[in-house]
Amino acid sequence: MRKPELLAPAGDLEAGYAALYFGADAVYLGLKSFSARAGATNFTPSELNEFTAYAHHLDRKVYVTVNTVIQEHELDALLQTLDVCSAAKVDGIILQDMGVARVIKESYPELVLHASTQMAVHNKEGALALKKLGFSRVVLARELTQNEIEEIAAIPGLETEAFIHGALCYAYSGLCLFSSMVGGRSANRGKCQYPCRALFQKGDKETHCFSMKDMALGEAVLKMPVTSLKIEGRKKKALYVAAVVDYYRQILDTGHADPKRAENIKQIFSRAWTTFHFNGKNNDVIDPDFVGHRGLLVGKVEAVLGRQLCLTPTHPVARYDGLQIDLPGDEKPFGFSVQEMAINHKSVFEVKAGQHVQILLPPHSPFMPKGAPVYLASSSRVKGAYDFEKPKPGQYKTRPEVDVKITLTKDKIVATVGDVEKVLMGPFASAQNADKMNESVLKTFEKDNDYAFAAKVVVQNKDNIFAPVSKLNDLRRQLYGCVRVDSKHGVLPPVITHKGSAAKWLLKTDDLKKISLLNLDEFAEVLVELRSDFDLDLLKQIPKNKVRLSLPTVERAPQNYSKLIQKALASGYHKWEIGNWWGFEMLPTKGIDLTFDAPFYMLNTQSTQFAKELGASRVTLSVEDTLENLKVVAEKSALPTTLVVYQDVPLFTSANCIKNACKTCDKSACVMPLKNGGQTYFVAIQNCQLKLYSEHAFYVGEDRSEVPADFYRVDFVNRPYTPEKVNELWNKIKLAFKINNTTSGNLRRSI
């Protein structure tokens, strides 16, 4: 069996070089745009070009993340990003948005498609569906067990990639709208603010219900049958990347983990470690008391005498190392840099393991109880242990040069590349220093750009005229935005616009009792979210042609739905809705009417066209989208669109349960409240799956007329609505009345 690829993160060029030096077989990274780690430094086009050329020189691979959802106005910028990736000859594009997939398939066939973990591939059926759509690799959901991973990895002709180390999200990746709906910072756009790390009031106790430990599989990676072993950490520095790559390289090469290498990682950055659900359902995944970096446990507080901390460390500690101490009631450890140490009242620079030492605490340090854990959070020794080599700047490159000619006259400035020409009209004054002006023009047009080429500039300025740099920059952007190194690229695949009609109403529920008081004649369809044990006889009260059956977004055991689906089809139910790729595989390709729900994130017309080509008859617009983008997509969509008007938006869906009572749990449905910062949330738990909702339902009834959607939809799902409450709400919604204690999400803001 071939040894799996060790795949490392790179948030900047230094981290990329460190990863390669310490043994990564491949590196994944992002450019400045469309990266799900927008907070990382990320790569410029020239850095990507140079780094990829160097990696290929070493026979290593480079994958680029274009793994955010794309709004309509960003499609032209997407082409520039893909131009850059194509010119650099990267080995794969990791993506989430199906519009991006369509553009690549149609206009950049040389680029290889990798399905991001943001696509929430959590079962074999989802992976099979994406393989059929042309994806060569799927990045698996982190929540999967070894058995589930093995099942997907056994699919012939499909590469699989699984996370082995790094930060964890409480939610399935791609199915979290918490940061977006609460603060307008979308995780699907790389801008998550991590509200899950906050303190929540659970009953009479404050706790970090959702603050995950870090994944660290260690030697368990040797049991991974996947193509690629992925380390998380594009927001981490080169030192961290070096240490983690070195740790797993040693495991793969020797078959054993080195405890000292593991300790080094903990001294750079580490929360508490967990194997997550790799070995089966695991409750030990949350750190309820502390958040952030802890370090390596090196002892306990023995005493504090004045400002002297008494400690007998289990590992060496040196002056200027960083220590952290867990203090009861504080969500973050107390940390400080060691400035003075003494053994038997004699000052020392370093203390060895087992030596009793007094460490001077900073002024005004908090009370430290005896027995409080002490961590070595930063080590000078470790910082010096991971030096790495890198090539000289400019030594490796593949980005082509283009000839740029800038001609300046008193009347105009003409900038040309081949057949592309842009003109800046004058008049222009004379330059006081012509040589300095010409040098300024060269710098303006030769500086590193966001395009797939490097510029080789010739300046003609016989009249010695002067032009402001701001105007030259505008001219450069206009010119370079039209230049394509490869004539095949730079054009969006065509979209056939659907002609809309007057909006009709749709109703969605997971319990027919909730809608028992409604007049169903007011709705074009009733969407019923299924469970595997759903009784189809309950549907007899609704005309069959009005029923659309909806499969859940997440299902770890899709086989449980096989009999139900076949029975429903045989009974004449041919309208279906899916919200994840596993449903696409479970349903027949012909003879059904298939619609796509909101988790497919239709934020651009390329994605709606792709849905049409896949056989969908309708798409649901994203509940986290903005009003301006919703207008454009609804107007220009290739398919009829649905605007969700009322919904208890699942802020996230998770495989983790805050009850922590697996042995006694009957897996029945329960709802419990949580509070944070004056806000109330509800946790709904059923069958080992957890969803989080706000007390404020999503409602855009007063603004719905501004979006030219074909259908409006109201959802009464998961929350325990009474029939009377549903009826009350519907009577307000259909008349676009105001509903108190609701939110319009990102409708009037950006994401």
Share of the chain above pLDDT 70, in %: 99
Is the same domain home to 373 and 432?
no
| Within-domain flag for 317 | yes
Q: Same structural domain for residues 405 and 351?
A: no
The DSSP symbol for 602 reads B
Residues 39 and 107 in one domain: yes
Which residue in 419, 424, 425, 423 sits closest to 483, CA to CA?
A: 419
Shared domain check, 300 and 265? no
Report the SS3 class of residue 392.
coil
Residue 33 sits in the same domain as residue 64: yes
Please list the residues that pair with 92 across neighbouring strands: 63
Query: What gap in Å lies between CA 516 and CA 542, rounded to an integer?
Result: 11
**What's at 656, amino acid-wise?**
N
Q: Rounded to an integer, what distance in angstroms lies between the CA atom of residue 671 and that of residue 684?
A: 5
pLDDT tens for each residue of 124-141: 999 999 999 999 999 999
Let me know whether 78 and 122 are in one domain.
Answer: yes
Domain membership flag for residue 719: yes
Query: Which residues are within 8 A (CB) of 169 and not within 5 positions of it... i.e. 6 or more apart?
Result: 142, 176, 196, 212
In a domain, 230, yes or no: yes
Q: Is residue 157 part of a domain?
A: yes
- Name residue 350's beta-bridge partners: 318
Looking at residue 662, what is its pLDDT?
66
204-251, pLDDT tens digit by residue? 889 999 999 999 999 999 999 999 999 999 999 999 999 999 999 999
Range 132-157 burial, b when 16+ CB lie within 10 A, else e: ebebebbbbbbbbbbebbeebbeeee
Token pair in block for residue 327 = 């203090």
Same domain? 521 vs 373: no
pTM of model > 0.85: yes
Residues 227 and 97 in one domain: yes
For the chain, how many structural domains are there in total? Answer: 4
Confidence check: pLDDT of 643 > 90: yes
What mean pLDDT is predicted for residues 590-599? 97
- Let me know if residue 176 belongs to a domain: no
Could you read off the pLDDT of 262-295 as tens digits, one per residue? 999 999 999 999 999 999 999 899 999 888 999 9
Instruction: Say whether pLDDT at 747 is over 70.
Output: yes
- Dump the DSSP string for 168-225: --SSPTT-B-HHHHHHS--GGGT----GGGS-EEETTEEE-SS-B-EEE-GGGGGG--
610 & 518 share domain: yes
Q: Does residue 431 sit in the same domain as residue 542? A: no
Q: How far apart are CA 506 and CA 503, in angstroms?
A: 10
Is there a contact between 94 and 65 (Cβ–Cβ < 8 Å)? yes
Tell me the CATH number at 520: 3.20.20.70
Residue 568 inside a domain? The answer is yes
pLDDT at 664: 66
Q: What's the start-to-end Cα distance of the chain, in Å?
A: 45
406 and 371 together in one domain: no
Any residues with CB less than 8 A from the CB of 261 and at least 6 apart, and which?
A: 243, 246, 247, 250
CA atoms of 614 and 129, how far apart (whole Å): 11
Distance CA 534, CA 555 (A): 15
Environment class of 345 (CB within 10 Å of its CB; exposed 0-12, middle 13-18, buried 19+): exposed
Among residues 378, 411, 438, the one where a domain terminates is: 378
In a domain, 389, yes or no: no
From 139, 197, 190, 188, select the one nearest 164 (Cα to Cα): 139
CATH number at residue 338: 2.40.30.10
Task: Give the structural domain span for 407.
Answer: 401-480
Q: Among 480, 512, 537, which residue terminates a domain? A: 480
Whether 704 is in a domain gets the answer yes
Which residues neighbour 491 within 8 Å (Cβ) at sequence distance 6 or greater? Answer: 79, 107
Q: How many residues does the chain have?
A: 751
Q: Over 80: is that where the pLDDT of 154 sits?
A: yes
Same domain, yes or no, for 126 and 20? yes
